[in-house]
Structure 1
Amino acid sequence: ELAEAARDPLEDRGSFASNLFIGRYDFDRIYPYPAQSAEDRAAGEDFLEKLEPYLRDHVDADEIDRTGEIPPENFKGLAEIGAFGIKVPKKYGGLGLSQCNYGRAAVLLGSWDGNVAALVSAHQSIGVAQPLLLFGTEEQKQKYLPRVASGEISAFALTERHAGSDPATMSLRAEPNSDGSEFILNGEKLWCTNGVKAGVLVVMARTPPKLVGGKERKQITAFIVDIDTPGLEITYRCRFMGLRALYNSVVKFTDVRVPRENIISKEGAGLKVALTTLNTGRLTLPAACVGLSKRLLEISRKWAGERIQWGVPIGQHAAIAGKIAEMAGNVFAMEAMTFLTSSLLDRKAGDLRIETAMCKMWATETTWRIADDAMQVRGGRGYETAQSLAGRGEPPIGVERFLRDCRVNTIFEGSSEIMRLFIAREALDPHLKVGGAIFNTQLPMSERGKAVFRSGKFYAGWYPRQWMPNGAGKIDNLHETLRGHVDYASRTSKRLARGLFHAMARFGPKLDREQLLLSRFVGIATELFAISATCSYAQWLLGQGKPADEILSVADYFCRSARMRIDNHFAGTYRNVDRRGYQLTQELLAGKHELLRDGIV
């Protein structure tokens, strides 16, 4: 209910990815590729030319991993080059750079050290800067943005022990005082990234409910809270499998008094602040994944050419060659998707929440597979630590550190499962607008009858069009190799729309419970988005004079591989073991299948 109240319905299906679910393939929304302008790119060069050598010469990623600490001089050095205020406007002391330039910085950070990447990203993608840029008052911006831009660390406090993806169970409360000038916060937050080092937090808390239309509605409100406010304590630093220098904490609030003017947006708008902030902030993770994946591809490429087994480099053995080809195709697509969406965001090209969610989900899952394959290519040397490798005289290439560090990416800032549910909900949105009233038992039968008539009239025109075999139509200056994949994506979007409609007809209002089925439809749409972004990007690169044989080779490989994954998703929509799997799990939860627990310590 809270999420629905905070969600802005897509009155106009205004983005490329959202339209895929209704069989509308608007390739002209992303073609020609919306590349970063030369002027904007140049605006970021000065900072990036400082960041790259700083990371290489002053950030010892393996030592940070070993000690679990980022040295104080790194905080100071990063602040001096402006790394904590990349998107903060210059008038507030920041660099005032675009999302594309921020993404380029994230690529560099992700390729070098996940800990520093997480510090910088959490500080400004979900910490104080982004919510204030989107929703803050001028007074709030003037007070806080110069502080965070200059290097005072910020953090985002949402998760609680019993409230993760379901914010309705949030227990941290903010009660107004007698005259309403302050709110008094009591409760605890868990896994507050940057909390150990932060000077200021964005905190989500439950405020008193309000009556809306005669019904009580729960309220969540976003507050800016200074870390030195009396009653606020950092009670514990959490430690993890990877990102060992992540400054993640438990934050306790005991009668913490926060002035009303520290509310972000307005009372009750906290969840909207959080979701909107994450919609933009999620793009930093895919950009960091691009950097990490490129690094892992390069490690694998070099080793596959150097390591000789059975008289030839291991890259000439098909089992290894297949892994490296898959890495290469996925890296190309990841960069295409991420920077296409970043550029559209800079251009304010409509509602991009589906694109950002797809980028986050696809890039983080793909990067995990790339890290796993890179470890397999490197073999024992992939599993061995950089320190141990150096100790016996080999290059200290820490693949195992990269693998540990990237595992969390599919969990935080919206787990893959939540991303799939989020995208699926948006996929169903136009159908619910047309026919949702049919299933609303709270409406009178007369209204539900009208909904039947309206939906019947709509689908009588819409459904037959989903069987038309036409491709993407006339597209100027698109290479014939790429055109075939774009036409495939156009036809397949109609097949996707039919499949989703058939599932609605089969399951009715209970379709939202068929999470595995919906995840397959989401998987199809995400691969179609990846294919389309890849083709648009490849054509742009051809226009820039890049080697045609190289560009077409990697783009064609990716698209063919993605089409195989789409075939697999479609097969699973009509032949699967979802029901049996669910029943088996309920048996396990009920304590059955004791045999599966026998013989363990």
Structure 2
Amino acid sequence: MGGQGSDEKRSLELAEEARETEWQKPSFISELFMGRVATSLIFPFPEQDPADKRAGDEVLEKLRIFLKEKLDADRIDREKEIPPEVIAGLRDLGLFGIKIPKEYGGLGLSQTNYNRIVQLVSSHCASTAVMLSAHQSIGVPQPLRMFGTEEQKQKYLPRLAAGAMSAFALTEPGVGSDPSKMTTTAVPAEDDESYLINGKKLWITNGPVADLMIVMARTNDPREERPEITAFIVEGNAEGLSTEHRCDFMGLKGLQNGLLNFDNVRVSREDILGSMGEGLKLALRTLNTGRLTLPAACGGAMKQTLAMAVKWGKERRQWGAPVAHHEAVAAKIASIAADIFAVESLTWLTSALAERGETDIRLEAAMAKLYCTEALWRAVDEGVQIRGGRGYETADSLRGRGEAPMPMERALRDARINLIIEGTSEIMRLFIAREALDPHLRIAGASATSDKVNFKEAAGFYARWYPALWLPRFKAPGGVALPGRLGRHLRFVERATRRLARDLFHMMVRHRQGLQKKQMLLGRLVDTGAELFAMTAVLSRAASPQRPKGAEQMADLFCRQARRRLNALHRAIYSNDDRLAYKTARQVLDGDYPWIEENILCTWKEEREKE
């Protein structure tokens, strides 16, 4: 037990050191967990500048034609390769340098236009969308723009904009979200002008075909308890770098992703990105920005899913009416549509917030990633159900027997990874919860790794703050006026936000330092915040003069459904089965229920034991 506790503390300390602890700019989500609805950060809804939109429209028009005429998504899924001519065509369109500034050869487009492009590609071929996104959302271009020297930018950005593929190598076979266990090392070479990298990296998207990659490696003595992690720019054809295995997944069949081996790979000191030992901070900031892309990708896939469900729902007749006219199916279609409105609202809101640079978006990006990926999974699951047997059948099989080749089955397979990549839903909830607790920890003079509490200072703050959370409010937050029935939803958001802050405080008092281990409880608090964030984004968009047709009704439906989910989450905070479930899980792990493995065949276990 002592060793396990020591490892846990070491991991927490490393994570704390890598965090951006200073909140220099306001954050809507941070305010939310303190019981405040910062409407000024969300209202009015940020609309895209007309000139910026025209720049994006020009690229989207060419891209739409290219995707339709040159990119066969079913072939990519079938053959597990994105054809060279497709990659060449994307290069010709400049799509390997969407956000790279024009002075370095890129298109220099905004985050909003970048996400519009990702949304379109994702609606057609998820493998291609992830390839492009991994290259420039988390691959070399993004961290290079954020942390690179001018010499590094001049050297690499033009290559990347011209189509050099890139990757981001962080994860290892034994290391997921806990970087304290990283084993890849970079040690000074004999010439003292370069480093030698040794180790393995797993699940590196674009890794097997990358021309350039960011590699995270430990640069201090491996015998030291706490690793110093540094980022390096590595050439994809470097001597000693090889792909041991190309991974094959449930979906995203066209993706080049693999297990990479580094055997004395030499890297110049000039290719250290950022400062020595700053690798984790670089990785976290890169992922914060990279997560902005996932909501756009989810929106594209959800729209494609709904288009297929609507087409089938109107054409297929059962019991004398189209299946979409039956209430059970109609409810699914309406929910998917309402969720799409929310996902798009979050997408364009967070894109605009990132571009403005006036807010701290680490929580907004994480929250949008969490919410939109789970909304996508609900949508494709319901889409398959609406299509029935045909939803389970591949597009090639449907085409082979003369039916419309709707790729619903592929959409389901491709969607599932989004709840895992760039931070699993569980890790996202813990990350958001940690940031949400930060103001309270600072008030109490404590930290995630210390039990010290300044009770006098904390008592002085909470004696004023907590009673104010119970006081009734009679005006909409921020004096925001909304059309029709939407005003009552914003007033609900304000009440529910204060209730969330009270719930968080109650759980802090009840569990104290142990709250960080109550992952199910923290998850419910975070999900509450996510629903409130989505509701606010939806209401802001529905109130915009440039709102899309039917926005008011769609926002009303979404908010009604969100309010029911919020009430259920609130009840579960105080009444749940977490303790019994955890006890049962430990008993299952200890083999206390042998009947669970009776009358099944686990050949994978036998194969592993032979090794």
TM-score, length of structure 2 as denominator length: 0.94
| 1:218 match: secondary structure | coil
Structure 1 residue 333, shift from structure 2 partner: 0.3
1:441/1:555 CA distance change after superposition, 3 Å: closer
What is the match of residue 459 of structure 1?
462
Task: Map 1:309-458 onto structure 2 (within 5 A).
Answer: 309-437=318-446, 448=453, 451-458=454-461
Structure 1 residue 438, shift from structure 2 partner: 9.4
| 1:437 match: secondary structure | coil
Give distance in 2, aligned partners of 1:361 and 1:192.
21
Give distance in 1, aligned partners of 2:181 and 2:194.
24
Structure 1 residue 481, shift from structure 2 partner: 1.6
The aligned amino acid for 2:465 is: W
Task: Map 1:447-596 onto structure 2 (within 5 A).
Answer: 448=453, 451-470=454-473, 471-473=475-477, 475-540=479-544, 543-544=545-546, 546-547=548-549, 550-596=550-596
What is the match of residue 7 of structure 2?
none
What is the match of residue 189 of structure 1?
201
The aligned amino acid for 1:466 is: L
1:238/1:580 CA distance change after superposition, 3 Å: same
Give deviations 1:154-178, integer Å, cap 9, x for gaps: 0111110100111111100011235
| 1:244 match: secondary structure | coil
Task: Map 1:34-183 onto structure 2 (within 5 A).
Answer: 34-178=46-190, 180-183=192-195
The runs of 5 or more residues in structure 2 that have no matched partner are: 1-12, 602-611
Bigger drift between 480-489 and 524-533 goes to: 480-489
Give distance in 1, aligned partners of 2:560 and 2:569.
15
Give distance in 2, aligned partners of 1:436 and 1:62.
56
Work out which of the residue numbers 8, 17, 30 in structure 1 matches 2:42: 30
1:261/1:32 CA distance change after superposition, 3 Å: same
Give distance in 1, aligned partners of 2:183 and 2:260.
13
Contact in 2 for aligned 1:13/1:19 (Cα 8 Å): no
Answering whether residue 305 of structure 2 is matched by residue 281 of structure 1, we say no
Structure 1 residue 217, shift from structure 2 partner: 4.4
| 2:479 match: secondary structure | coil
Give deviations 1:318-347, integer Å, cap 9, x for gaps: 110111111000000000011100011011
The aligned amino acid for 1:460 is: A
What is the match of residue 296 of structure 1?
305
1:441/1:490 CA distance change after superposition, 3 Å: closer
Give distance in 1, aligned partners of 2:527 and 2:446.
28
Give deviations 1:124-147, integer Å, cap 9, x for gaps: 001100000111111111111111
Structure 1 residue 43, shift from structure 2 partner: 2.0
Structure 1 residue 227, shift from structure 2 partner: 1.3
The aligned amino acid for 2:521 is: L
The runs of 5 or more residues in structure 1 that have no matched partner are: none
Contact in 2 for aligned 1:25/1:472 (Cα 8 Å): no
1:442/1:474 CA distance change after superposition, 3 Å: closer
Contact in 1 for aligned 2:25/2:358 (Cα 8 Å): no
Give distance in 2, aligned partners of 1:131 and 1:439.
28
Give deviations 1:540-584, integer Å, cap 9, x for gaps: 1xx13744xx22111100000011111111111000000100000
Contact in 1 for aligned 2:180/2:226 (Cα 8 Å): no
Answering whether residue 17 of structure 2 is matched by residue 5 of structure 1, we say yes
The aligned amino acid for 1:271 is: L
1:120/1:310 CA distance change after superposition, 3 Å: same
The aligned amino acid for 1:503 is: M
Give distance in 2, aligned partners of 1:238 and 1:571.
42
| 1:412 match: secondary structure | coil
The aligned amino acid for 2:389 is: G
Structure 1 residue 303, shift from structure 2 partner: 1.3
Task: Map 1:136-285 onto structure 2 (within 5 A).
Answer: 136-178=148-190, 180-208=192-220, 217-285=226-294
The aligned amino acid for 2:457 is: R
1:386/1:199 CA distance change after superposition, 3 Å: same
Contact in 2 for aligned 1:27/1:472 (Cα 8 Å): no
Contact in 1 for aligned 2:39/2:477 (Cα 8 Å): no
Give distance in 1, aligned partners of 2:471 and 2:254.
55
Structure 1 residue 209, shift from structure 2 partner: 5.8
| 1:190 match: secondary structure | strand
Give distance in 2, aligned partners of 1:286 and 1:438.
32
Give distance in 2, aligned partners of 1:476 and 1:413.
35
Give distance in 2, aligned partners of 1:51 and 1:593.
56
1:438/1:21 CA distance change after superposition, 3 Å: closer
Structure 1 residue 180, shift from structure 2 partner: 3.7
The aligned amino acid for 2:341 is: F
Give distance in 2, aligned partners of 1:420 and 1:262.
34
Give deviations 1:461-489, integer Å, cap 9, x for gaps: 11111112215345355213221111110
What is the match of residue 607 of structure 2?
none
What is the match of residue 605 of structure 2?
none
| 1:201 match: secondary structure | strand
Structure 1 residue 196, shift from structure 2 partner: 1.7
Give distance in 2, aligned partners of 1:161 and 1:439.
27
Give distance in 1, aligned partners of 2:163 and 2:450.
54
The aligned amino acid for 1:5 is: E
What is the match of residue 597 of structure 1?
597
Give deviations 1:203-225, integer Å, cap 9, x for gaps: 010111699xxx97421111000
Contact in 2 for aligned 1:208/1:218 (Cα 8 Å): yes
Structure 1 residue 123, shift from structure 2 partner: 0.5
How many positions carry a matched residue from both structures? 588
Contact in 2 for aligned 1:174/1:206 (Cα 8 Å): yes
The aligned amino acid for 1:461 is: R
| 1:303 match: secondary structure | helix
Contact in 2 for aligned 1:330/1:558 (Cα 8 Å): yes
The aligned amino acid for 2:543 is: Q
TM-score, length of structure 1 as denominator length: 0.95
The aligned amino acid for 1:132 is: L
Structure 1 residue 8, shift from structure 2 partner: 1.3
Bigger drift between 328-337 and 293-302 goes to: 293-302
Give distance in 1, aligned partners of 2:546 and 2:273.
44
Give distance in 1, aligned partners of 2:110 and 2:472.
40
| 2:208 match: secondary structure | coil
Give distance in 2, aligned partners of 1:419 and 1:250.
25
Give deviations 1:79-106, integer Å, cap 9, x for gaps: 0001110000011110000100000001
Structure 1 residue 73, shift from structure 2 partner: 0.3
- The percentage of counterpart residues that share the same residue type is 50
Contact in 2 for aligned 1:438/1:452 (Cα 8 Å): no
